[in-house]
A and B are shown apart, each in its own frame.
Chain A
Amino acid sequence: MFRRDTPAEAEFRMEVRTWLEANLPAALRGRTTRPPPSELMPWYHTLSRKGWIAPHWPRQYGGMGATLNEQIVMTEELARVGAPHLPVQGLNHIGPILMEFASDAQKAQHLPPIVEGSVIWCQGYSEPGAGSDLASLSTRATLEGDHFVIKGHKIWTTWAHHSDWMFALVRTDPQAQPRHAGISFLLIDMHSPGITVRPIKTIAGDDEFSEVFFDDVIVPAGNLIGKLHDGWRIANALLGHERLGTSNPQFALMALERIRTMARASGIMADPAFQDRLAAAAINVTVLTALFSHAVELTNSAQSPGPESSIIKIFASELLQALGELAVEAAGGHAPADGPIATDFGEVDVATAFLQARRVTIYGGSSEIQRNVVARRVLNLPN
């Protein structure tokens, strides 16, 4: 968006475009809802076989080791073809954390299946009593000899009902002060006895979220990542990756295309007032691409993204909501239609995307929590 491709990048772009056009099934294009694993995972496997599933991972772990510009090119091309939202808990969240904090044995066990797409991961952070105040979490892990016993309740767990593994924050020291000093980072096999998963239907009509109950679940002590009671540091590093990963401009680029299609179909495109708002939105998508490139560039040199990832998370999530609102405006009378709207320019699902965008300013730390983080840790404003 903000640059011209070098000849090598242009060649890579054409290679990606041609391959995506030839290999991405039509039924998976332009979907606003993440398709179920039976539909989605074959596409994951196709990308994996091509070697393109993990552009940002180093080659030693089975990634592409792509340059920043190549990653941006892929993002833009995936947006262009309307590629579906992959399960990213493995690729963007736990993967980089394992690379930074796990033992060699843990890396060898868990990284290859993420690249292959043979396991799906979920994230066990939030609890009914621990949302924005995450450090108050109470799911208990008691060390008994060579294993932990887990008892507790996680919620808002994306794709838990499809997942094979969970990375979780658990309380290993109930007396610790401050509270976050008694939290550990644990990998839990979702097929273990004592785990119950209950999907939660969202206002967008999907069941992306679940709640997960742990009833004396046995987890080997070797599944601990890092040191006992040192999970908070790892959790924060992971949140940095999560905030950066969810700020990938692919989704904003796709949202912008939905608006343009809808605006042509409804006729509002001819209105200068709408054009002005569309320009402002499109400019912000370009800004997001610049912010994302800048943040990825910094992350490449420092491993885990710093508190700056909060800045891009706020910008990206609020932009995605603004784009959803503009799509609703562009749709006019069609806006409340449930599901895709048939137009002369193709199908556009306005309402689902709009409703789904409600969650992006809540998950991974709400916009308000992000602002607290930036105020304290970046701007050094007083308590």
Chain B
Amino acid sequence: MDLHLTSEQTLLRDSAAKFIGAAGAKVARGFRGQELSFAPARLREAGELGWLGMLVPDSANGLGLGLTELALVLEQAGRGLVCEPIGLAAISAAALAQARAPHPMLERVTTGAVLVVPALQEGAFGDDPLAPRTQVAGEGGALRVTGTKAFVCADGADGFLVSASGRDGPELCYVARSASGCTLAATQTVDGRRLSTLSLKDAPADPVPSRQSSRSAVDALHNLALFALSAELLGVMEKAQEITFDYLRIRKQFGKPIGSFQALQHKAVDIYIKTEALRSLVFQIAANNDPYRINPALTAAAKAKASEDALTVTQACIQLHGGIGFTDEHEIGLYLKRAMLLSSLFGNAAAQRRRYVALAGLTA
């Protein structure tokens, strides 16, 4: 179903669609196993287009846009299997811009000159994002952070936004990659990129305070991350199904296009419904929530739905392709692998459903 967009939003979407014209499966394949899994020049290009500072308020020299604009760009990033971490950079910029006096890294993050990414996860399942085991101590600007963060998209990162428990609850801290006591250990992922474990031992850090006292900076960033990943997964699903529907129209068996067979048509409609449902959810949340105060039950719902359905849809796309879909040479497998990565980040579907029970007060 079409979205009602303003002319500015349509322009933004078109410009994002143009950006991913130079991305896609071939480019993503080229980064597999490389030392750095994206092109820094392309990240700077995204910065020049204003996307990395899109959520940053006007007062901090950002575009002051909302979740709809973020989702429009990340939907395209998902479609194009874009390797540059546009979403993670944009939400990190939003987090750095929260304080009354924005963090000194902010400007260079919004231009894409440096990359800062969130480091919020600790375990494989069941984290309470607001009660990290990582600890922060110290006063004012001189903080020290100790702990271990898992599944960090650390490729090319110059710094991290680390959640840590302090005296008064969860705090968001900026830790430079080059800080003493900061080490990374990377693991290869199925899509040829890397996730890292970030170990911090008395690492020096800056506080990244919240703009609003009602919600911690950790909570705001965590919810933004869930929303951003949901929008990107939506794009992955959309493009995977388009590739598949095209194939159904041209591939012939029994003398007819296989897309004329009802069994396959109904399977195609099933995945289409999942994609449309997620699109409505993502854009209704976007239209009705402030980036810094997204209803956490809704981000849990969106990420649960996106994580589960992106895997279901991309798997069905392989089935609809038949044998060719199982080859490394065909692009459709790359969408399944990207879905595997994004679905797992910041809590998979099962983890989000567990959060949802509590956040929506279902058992009450």
Query: Taking beta carbons and an 8 Å cutoff, which residues of A are in contact with B?
Result: 2-4, 260, 269-270, 275-276, 278-280, 282-283, 286-287, 289-291, 293-295, 297-298, 301, 308, 311, 314-315, 368, 371-372, 374-376, 378-383
Contact = CB atoms under 8 A, between A and B. Distances in A.
Interface stretch (B85-93, B116-124, B356-364): B356-364
Given A298-B2, A381-B245, A282 B262 contact: no
A372 B270 CA distance: 11
A8 to B, nearest CB: 14
B353 interface: yes
B272 A3 contact: no
Contacts of A279: 304, 353-354, 356-357, 360, 362
B268 A379 contact: yes
Given A308-B1, A315-B273, A382-B260, A290 B280 contact: yes
A283 B354 CA distance: 11
A375 B362 CA distance: 36
A374 B269 contact: yes
22 contacts: A3-B288, A270-B363, A275-B363, A279-B362, A287-B280, A289-B284, A291-B277, A291-B280, A294-B1, A294-B284, A298-B2, A301-B4, A308-B276, A311-B273, A311-B276, A374-B272, A375-B269, A379-B272, A381-B245, A382-B259, A382-B260, A383-B260
B257 A269 contact: no
Contacts of B357: 275-276, 278-279
Contact of B356 (A283, A295, A314, A383): A283
A286 B301 contact: yes
A327 to B, nearest CB: 14
Contacts of A297: 4
Nearest to A260: B362
A290 B282 CA distance: 9
Contact of B363 (A269, A290, A308, A376): A269
A289 B350 CA distance: 22
Given A276-B354, A291-B281, 4 more contacts: A282-B360, A291-B280, A298-B4, A371-B269
Interface string B289-332: 10000010010010011000000000000000000000000000
Interface string B255-278: 011011010011011101100111
B268 A286 contact: no
A278 B301 CA distance: 12
Nearest to A270: B363
A229 to B, nearest CB: 30
A256 to B, nearest CB: 9
Contacts of A372: 262, 265
Cβ-closest 4 pairs across A and B: A3-B288, A375-B265, A279-B353, A290-B284
B104 to A, nearest CB: 34
A382 B248 CA distance: 9
Nearest to B353: A279
Interface of B: 1-2, 4, 245, 248-249, 256-257, 259-260, 262, 265-266, 268-270, 272-273, 276-278, 280-281, 283-285, 287-289, 295, 298, 301, 304-305, 350, 353-354, 356-357, 360, 362-363
Contacts of B266: 368, 371, 375
B289 A3 contact: yes
A270, A289, A374, A375 — most chain B CB neighbours (10 Å): A375
B4 A283 contact: no
A283 B1 contact: no
A2 B269 contact: no
A267 B269 CA distance: 38
A12 B60 CA distance: 36
Contacts of A270: 363
Nearest to B249: A382
Contacts of A311: 1, 272-273, 276
A141 B356 CA distance: 56
A290 B288 CA distance: 11
A274 to B, nearest CB: 10
A374, A379, A381, A383 — most chain B CB neighbours (10 Å): A381
Contact of B245 (A294, A301, A315, A379): A379
Nearest to B277: A287
A351 B186 CA distance: 54
Contacts of B256: 382
Nearest to A295: B1
Given A276-B353, A279-B357, A381 B298 contact: no
A150 B101 CA distance: 79
Contacts of B4: 297-298, 301
Given A291-B277, A294-B280, A311-B273, A375 B268 contact: yes
A381 B1 CA distance: 17
B350 A283 contact: no
